[in-house]
């Protein structure tokens, strides 16, 4: 693609979300009714709101973030490449505040970009909505009101792959497979995160999965630009 990018200015990220409470019956009656209305077209007549509740994590109004993983190049030189990855997990408010602190302290300049796979449709607005719900002031990189499309500091590997075809959706799993990138889906996938969180109570497994997705996003952008992939030895986990 010959993208004119300084890879050291890019923050790659992925988020994992789950329903805000474990069971549909744990919601207030008012919230149950609102969920039923929100999902009526997705459910149609095949599922009751309670049966459909396991998918609640995809909506910021009915879900919450349990992990944000971020990665960035501290050195992009091919001879000494280094990719640093870290994760915020646990209490959602702390996750959001720590992520905001990272943006404000290290990725707050005009040249800095956020990059995710389907990030413009999911990750970036989800984080912003959850910040507002939790009464956290938006960092500049997520405060997009009044900005023109070319002023929005976001990259989306799915959007880049569309090449202008707005109907085309390609999963991260499919792209990594056809482009020869190690799959991030070798353990769990997004549909299983809720059960791993609430039933297994295994946040470490979710963090590992989230970090693999973040690395895969960086690998995609490298492949799009015909750059060598990140070797495992070049990944620094902190």
Give CA–CA dist 218/13, Å, rounded.
Answer: 9
Give the model's pLDDT for residue 224.
Answer: 95
Q: Percent of the chain at pLDDT above 70?
A: 98
Give the model's pLDDT for residue 184.
Answer: 67
Give the model's pLDDT for residue 191.
Answer: 84
168 burial (CB, 10 Å; 0-12 / 13-18 / 19+) is exposed
| Contact (CB, 8 A) for 228 and 78 | yes
Confidence at 93, pLDDT banded by 50, 70, 90: very high
Confidence at 124, pLDDT banded by 50, 70, 90: very high
Taking residues 134-157, report their average pLDDT: 87
Angle at 231 between CA 104 and CA 107, to 5 degrees: 10
Give the model's pLDDT for residue 185.
Answer: 67
The string of pLDDT tens digits covering residues 7-57 is 999 999 999 999 999 999 999 999 999 999 999 988 877 889 999 999 999
Give exposure, 26-48, as e/b (b: 16+ Cβ within 10 Å). Answer: ebeeeebeebbeebeeebeeeee
Give the model's pLDDT for residue 99.
Answer: 97
**Run of H or E residues at 70:** strand 63-75
Give the model's pLDDT for residue 152.
Answer: 79
Is the pTM higher than 0.75? The answer reads yes
The string of pLDDT tens digits covering residues 173-197 is 999 999 999 876 677 888 899 999 9
Pick 130 or 186 by higher pLDDT.
130
Taking residues 55-71, report their average pLDDT: 97
Nearest to 217 by CA among 112, 88, 85: 85
Give the model's pLDDT for residue 9.
Answer: 95
Taking residues 124-147, report their average pLDDT: 93
């Amino acid at each position: 693609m010959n993208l004119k990018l300084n890879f050291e200015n890019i923050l790659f990220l992925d988020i994992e979300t789950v329903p805000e409470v474990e069971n549909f019956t744990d919601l207030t009656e008012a919230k149950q009714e609102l969920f039923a209305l929100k999902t009526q077209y997705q459910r149609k007549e095949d599922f009751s709101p309670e049966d459909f509740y396991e998918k609640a994590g995809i909506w910021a109004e009915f879900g919450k973030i349990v992990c944000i993983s971020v990665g960035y190049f501290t050195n992009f030189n091919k001879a000494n490449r280094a990719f640093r990855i870290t994760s915020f997990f646990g209490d959602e408010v702390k996750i959001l505040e720590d992520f905001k602190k990272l943006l404000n302290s290290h990725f707050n300049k005009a040249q800095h970009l956020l990059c995710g796979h389907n990030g413009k449709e999911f990750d970036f607005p989800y984080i912003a909505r959850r910040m507002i719900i939790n009464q956290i002031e938006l960092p500049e990189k997520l405060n997009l009101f009044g900005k023109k499309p070319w002023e929005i500091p976001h990259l989306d590997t799915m959007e880049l792959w569309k090449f202008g075809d707005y109907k085309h959706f390609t999963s991260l799993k499919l792209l990594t497979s056809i482009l020869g990138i190690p799959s991030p889906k070798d353990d769990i996938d997004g549909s299983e995160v809720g059960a791993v969180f609430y039933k297994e109570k295994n946040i470490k497994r979710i963090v590992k999965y989230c970090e693999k997705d973040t690395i895969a996003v960086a690998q995609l952008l490298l492949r799009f630009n015909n750059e060598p992939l990140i070797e495992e030895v070049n990944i620094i986990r902190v």
